[in-house]
Amino acid sequence: MSRLVNVAVLDDYQHAALASADWSPLDGLADVTVFSDHLADEAALVERLRPFHAVCAMRERTPFPRRVLEQLPNLELIASTAPMNAAIDVTAASELGIAVAHTRYISTPTIEFTWALILAAARQIPAQTACVRSGGWQVAVGEDLEGKTLGIAGLGRVGSGVARIAQAFRMELIAWSQNMTGARAQACGAKLVTKEELFARADFVTIHLVLGDRTRGLVSAKELALMKPSAYLINSSRGPIVDDTALIDALTNRRIAGAALDAFAIEPLPATHPYRSLPNVVATPHLGYVTRREYRLFFEDTVTNVAAWIATR
């Protein structure tokens, strides 16, 4: 090969990409450029990526629809982290001759983080911490978990892991998804219920569904109206599963106690978004998978994928 290939690493918010793996297998083969900022504007994104032959994408931070891919004639590879990426139009990529590669993924970090969200909401940890930092002391009374009902929407790898930990807290478990069976729920220590019963009975509803046509907007005003005024909604899955307008209305009018959210329809979350200021919201910047071990796995596999692609180019 006569010249280096241009490789872009996108959305490296924490400047962690190069430190998370050994990139030396690409020495002499690739010119790697790391971008730590996020470009939401498609025209600006296209202009930035025009010179690159390969793009390393972190999960779904940057979408690659057909209209973007068609404007990148030099692009030959999208090396995405995790086993799938719904933000990439893989059909368009294939038709345009752009290869798409993926990496391994572990669900443990998201399982653990879901419980961080539940505990933060139940014990109002962000508000209590802010009070201490400002010179105050106790400002609220938290909720117990033992004896409460946890409603789990989805018992896949993450949802089933969340269920295992709930049993240690001695919570009652109920579960629902479109294709869930009673046997599956029972195997995870839960009782299968209808969607309506899940939202009506649960003290904490936690979402662990894959985003798709059937789940987009699944948590709407109807479901939120079923929830107890003392209940909390937890979402560490995908933002568009929840109707933002309906949830903001329910939170503003205190029709539910609160929400703990790690995923949003628009990321990064706009500076003036209500989730940043509502007092009954715990909002975190999509941290469920952001751990050192997960990043090592992502970027080690990414280097391997890029090197393998260069070898066959």
Q: Which domains does the chain have, with CATH numbers?
A: 5-105+292-311 (3.40.50.720), 108-283 (3.40.50.720)
CA atoms of 280 and 272, how far apart (whole Å): 16
Residue from 102, 201, 286, 294 carrying the catalytic annotation: 286
pLDDT score at 3? 84
Angle 266-83-275 (CA atoms, 0-180°, nearest 5)? 20
Residues 6+ apart with CB under 8 A from 9: 17, 18, 32, 33, 34, 35, 56
Residue from 53, 59, 102, 238 carrying the catalytic annotation: 238
From the CA atom positions of the chain, what is the Rg in Å? 21
CA atoms of 177 and 102, how far apart (whole Å): 27
Q: Residue 298: name the closest of 36, 100, 59 by CA.
A: 59
- Whether 38 is a known active-site residue: answer no
Alpha helices in 169-243 (DSSP H): 182-187, 195-201, 221-226
- Alpha carbon 59 to chain centroid distance? 8
Mean pLDDT, contiguous 10-residue spans, the chain (313 residues): 86 98 98 97 98 97 98 98 95 98 98 98 96 96 98 98 98 97 97 98 98 95 98 98 98 98 96 97 98 98 98 93
Structure tokens at 153: 């929407």
- Whether 238 is a known active-site residue: answer yes
Residue from 267, 273, 296, 300 carrying the catalytic annotation: 267
Q: Partners of 30 in the beta sheet?
A: 5
pLDDT score at 1? 46
pLDDT score at 293? 98
CA atoms of 240 and 113, how far apart (whole Å): 19
Residues 6+ apart with CB under 8 A from 272: none
Structure tokens at 82: 């995790």
